[in-house]
Structure 1
């Protein structure tokens, strides 16, 4: 009884960290039993355990995820693409996993390209305000000419499938989920060009108000999981690379 009471006291004294993420299988999602699940959820729990904190993990729409991150001092975004602009305003605590970005086109289209400059002969679409807009503009793409910007992924994929743009710049994370939601055939598209210089790190992120000592503990915990091989084992179990 004394041991049980001591365990409860220790748990109650642990700091609570609120991890937030969007619904994105197999990384973080709500499973068939209504529970938070996913490879990065398991990894976040392992980070919390090693840092001796209590993890509360919630799945919510991305707009709310960003609102929580920007306005609350004890929130950690579970996986966020690490870009130069975001590094100015937010602290990144370490890489959870990597993704890749490509120019995606229809298999049936005759649009051979070997590099990003060659893509300027065609029309590439992406979502306004995303880092992909900045990336393409820095590469010399001009809005209204080689670059078509839209407000959401629904418009983006419909433009591609209707032949109004030639490529979509996107990462591999949300590709299949978005196409399935629109009832578009994932088999109709292919990767035309892998963008090797596009940011690929999906990292833990906190705002400037997040306690520094706690951030350091989480950062060190994730680093230790990486060094021990436990992080890689979790990612491999979920087929995340």
Structure 2
């Protein structure tokens, strides 16, 4: 009888180790994309996969749109959500690792021939130029506040792709957006060297994998955090930037 109990325990333990976590996300190049076979790939996707591999857990990525992805995990129908910001209200139903995947770098970006390489921080200066941003996108508290106060004006686009193409074609003087997304699109257009970042960054936003509190226990989140932190310390982010941005 004791042998049977031990055998059943071993089987049960093996099943627990061979689990799959369903992770909701949305297309957000170069962080989350779908390849020609419809499979998820990208910087954040690979960081998740590599971290979970170390825990003997398989990731099942379900890519749709932000509203659907967020609702599925908030209602505990799925285990994880990528990418998301860490906010006090979301911590009511999500566990967050201590480690962020990366920082979204919001920059002013100009053509490489643009004379200036730095921004003074005086937003009134931007009123002299044609500035573009994605509709409804938040850039940074200072930028958004100055825009709301009509210190300067912007041309609003529906996508980062349209924004970057307008810059490359000279229809805009500068754009305000995430630097990695802009670099990816410029590379896809065969003009990787045609844009430059105006420093310093307007803002940096950490993004995370959020776990459903009803689907995943905190101990697992801590183990995931350890693996992700180790990967980043070993230079995984830089390797993936080289893979997807060049």
Is the TM-score greater than 0.5? yes
* Kept after mapping to 2: 8 A contact 1:16/1:53: yes
Distance change (3 Å), C-alpha of 1:141 and 1:24: closer
* Kept after mapping to 2: 8 A contact 1:39/1:238: no
What residue is the counterpart of 1:176 in the other structure?
Answer: 183
* Kept after mapping to 2: 8 A contact 1:74/1:211: no
* Kept after mapping to 1: 8 A contact 2:117/2:197: no
* Kept after mapping to 1: 8 A contact 2:131/2:155: yes
What residue is the counterpart of 1:156 in the other structure?
Answer: 163
What residue is the counterpart of 1:123 in the other structure?
Answer: 130
What residue is the counterpart of 1:190 in the other structure?
Answer: 196
1:105 aligns with 2:105: no
Task: Give the secondary-structure state (helix, strand or coil) at the position aligned to 1:87.
Answer: coil
Distance change (3 Å), C-alpha of 1:177 and 1:20: farther
Q: Give the total of aligned pairs.
A: 230
Larger CA Rg, structure 1 vs 2: 2
* Kept after mapping to 2: 8 A contact 1:150/1:156: yes
1:199 aligns with 2:204: yes
Task: Give the secondary-structure state (helix, strand or coil) at the position aligned to 2:61.
Answer: strand
What residue is the counterpart of 2:233 in the other structure?
Answer: 232
Shift of 1:226: 5.3
Distance in 2 (CA, whole Å) between partners of 1:39 and 1:7 is: 36
Distance in 1 (CA, whole Å) between partners of 2:164 and 2:139 is: 15
5 Å-filtered alignment, 1:1-241, equals: 9-10=12-13, 12-13=15-16, 16-22=20-26, 27-29=31-33, 36-37=40-41, 40-45=44-49, 47-48=51-52, 54-60=58-64, 65-66=69-70, 68-69=72-73, 73-80=77-84, 82=85, 87-91=87-91, 92-93=96-97, 94-110=99-115, 113-117=118-122, 118-132=125-139, 136-140=143-147, 145-180=152-187, 183=189, 185-195=191-201, 198-206=203-211, 210-212=212-214, 214=216, 216-225=218-227, 229-233=230-234, 235=236, 238-240=239-241
Distance in 2 (CA, whole Å) between partners of 1:131 and 1:33 is: 32
Task: Give the secondary-structure state (helix, strand or coil) at the position aligned to 1:193.
Answer: strand
Distance in 2 (CA, whole Å) between partners of 1:218 and 1:78 is: 17
Shift of 1:98: 2.9
Distance in 2 (CA, whole Å) between partners of 1:147 and 1:102 is: 15
* Kept after mapping to 2: 8 A contact 1:121/1:146: no
Distance in 1 (CA, whole Å) between partners of 2:116 and 2:73 is: 40
Distance in 1 (CA, whole Å) between partners of 2:218 and 2:116 is: 47
Distance change (3 Å), C-alpha of 1:27 and 1:232: farther
Task: Give the secondary-structure state (helix, strand or coil) at the position aligned to 1:131.
Answer: coil
What TM-score does the superposition give when structure 2 sets the normalisation length?
0.68
Structure 2 gaps, min length 5 = none
Distance change (3 Å), C-alpha of 1:97 and 1:142: same
Task: Give the secondary-structure state (helix, strand or coil) at the position aligned to 2:101.
Answer: strand
What TM-score does the superposition give when structure 1 sets the normalisation length?
0.69
